[in-house]
Amino acid sequence: MSAQIIYGKQISDSIREELIQEVEQLKQQGVTPGLVVILVGEDAASQVYVRNKAKACEQLGYHSEVIRVPAETTQQELLALIGKYNEQQNIHGILVQLPLPKHIEEKAIIDAISVEKDVDGFHPVSVGNLMIGDDALLPCTPSGVIELLKRTGNSPAGKHAVVIGRSNIVGKPVAMLLLRENATVTICHSRTPNIAEIARQADILVVGVGVPKLVKKEWVKPGAVVIDVGVNRLPDGKLCGDVDYDDVLDVAGWITPVPGGVGPMTITMLMANTLKSAKQARR
Ligand SMILES: Nc1nc(=O)c2c([nH]1)NC[C@@H]1CN(c3ccc(C(=O)N[C@@H](CCC(=O)O)C(=O)O)cc3)C=[N+]21
Ligand SMILES: [Mg+2]
């Protein structure tokens, strides 16, 4: 028996088809969704993501701007740039690619983005809205994970979901969304002594830690849904997840590949957030 593969790329394509319909309606009302992506410095991995985001904007007919500034850009200069786009009417989403160079305080940058345009869902107010359950722009990777589960018939309700990783961009928000979807949620991290044992209790296992091939078949309950959020660039240039895919394939019931799993969904949810923000800006 081999796991069913969750083709995030295909699911992402069909969501984009749905979005295109909505974009056309909005455009008839005179509004074109607009996204600006700001890239500080020359990080090679970031270049790929930024290119994929621009491609998605083109596919959906958004207005998109990619602003590349040098690694030496000061925090003050970056804040001024954000201030400009906060005011700019044709821009509905602002994404500053992380990580930033060390001399820039990430928190100051995230705080400066207007909540209405926070399409990453990283602003403290967005995070608070997520916690409370209010309508918010949700972080893209976590909401992509939920979409993958729902659209493959793996609704989290009543399931035991185990999240490995507690980052602000993946672990914590994905745990909160799973809770909102009525899963019973356990969060494991680097100081959890018996991770494999806990992971093996999961009906849904979500892994986002940045350790290539950490999760082996002994960590997985037969038939479990395994969602791999890891995007690790190996020395040979290949992408690899946090799950040892080949090892886990025969045990899991469902599994996301890397690439082609969660990654494309992240970008599609960014497009969905930008559209949502553009719709809200009409009023
Ligand atoms: N402010 C901010 N927001 C982000 O959302 C953000 C960020 N900073 N910094 C970097 C991470 C990483 N990230 C990815 C997006 C798409 C793919 C993606 O499309 N992956 C494809 C393949 C890409 C490839 O081949 O390199 C896949 O998995 O199939 C991966 C990773 C967004 N991030
Ligand atoms: Mg992926």
- What are the tens digits of pLDDT across the range 164-180? 999 999 999 999 999 99
Q: Verify whether ligand 1 is closer than 6 Å to residue 56 (CB atom).
A: no
User: What average pLDDT does range 236-260 have in this prediction?
Assistant: 97
Q: Establish if 1 belongs to a structural domain.
A: no
Residue 92 has pLDDT above 80, yes or no: yes
Q: Verify whether ligand 1 is closer than 6 Å to residue 54 (CB atom).
A: no
Claim to verify: residue 144 and residue 241 sit in the same structural domain: yes
Local confidence band at 101 (pLDDT 50, 70, 90 cut-offs):
very high
Ligand 1 mean position to 1 CA, how many Å?
31
User: CATH number of the domain that 87 lies in?
Assistant: 3.40.50.10860
Q: Establish if 228 belongs to a structural domain.
A: yes
Amino acid of residue 200: R
CA 249, CA 214: separation in Å to the nearest integer?
A: 14
If one counts the domains in the chain, the total is 2
Ligand 1 mean position to 47 CA, how many Å?
10
Claim to verify: residue 40 and residue 91 sit in the same structural domain: yes
What is the pLDDT at residue 48? 82
What's the CA angle centered on 92, arms 87 and 98, to 5 degrees? 95
Claim to verify: residue 156 and residue 63 sit in the same structural domain: no
Task: List residues with catalytic annotation.
Answer: 53, 97, 120
What is the pLDDT at residue 1? 72
Residue 283 has pLDDT above 80, yes or no: no
> Taking Cα atoms as reference points, which of 88, 8, 118 lies closest to residue 110?
118
- Tens digits of residue pLDDT in 32-86: 999 999 999 988 778 888 899 999 999 999 999 999 999 999 999 999 999 999 9
Claim to verify: residue 158 and residue 97 sit in the same structural domain: no
Protein residue with least CA distance to atom 32, ligand 1: 49
CA 150, CA 215: separation in Å to the nearest integer?
A: 23
Ligand 1 mean position to 186 CA, how many Å?
25
CA 9, CA 147: separation in Å to the nearest integer?
A: 12
Residue 167 is labelled as binding a ligand? yes
Ligand 2 being an ion, which residues bring their Cβ within 5 A of it?
258, 261-263
Tell me the residue range of the domain where 147 lies. 140-263
Q: Verify whether ligand 1 is closer than 6 Å to residue 120 (CB atom).
A: yes
Show the DSSP H helices in the chain as ranges.
8-28, 44-60, 75-87, 106-112, 124-132, 140-151, 171-180, 195-199, 245-248, 262-282
User: CATH number of the domain that 164 lies in?
Assistant: 3.40.50.720
Closest ligand to residue 47's CA: 1
- Tens digits of residue pLDDT in 178-202: 999 999 999 999 999 999 999 999 9
Show the DSSP H helices in 2-99 as ranges.
8-28, 44-60, 75-87
Claim to verify: residue 165 and residue 230 sit in the same structural domain: yes
Amino acid of residue 5: I
Q: Establish if 133 belongs to a structural domain.
A: no
Q: Establish if 274 belongs to a structural domain.
A: no
Q: Establish if 19 belongs to a structural domain.
A: no
Amino acid of residue 254: W
Pairing outcome for strands 239-240 and 232-233: antiparallel
Q: Establish if 5 belongs to a structural domain.
A: no
Say if the ipTM goes beyond 0.90.
yes
Distance between start and end Cα atoms, the chain? 53
CA 93, CA 85: separation in Å to the nearest integer?
A: 9
Claim to verify: residue 111 and residue 144 sit in the same structural domain: no
Q: Do 242 and 228 contact (CB within 8 A), yes or no?
A: yes
The b/e string for 60-77 (b: 16+ C-beta within 10 A; e otherwise) is bebebbbeeeeeebebee
pTM of the predicted protein model: 0.97
Please tell me the total number of residues recorded for the chain in this structure: 283
What is the pLDDT at residue 42? 86
Q: Establish if 233 belongs to a structural domain.
A: yes
Mean residue pLDDT of the chain comes to 96
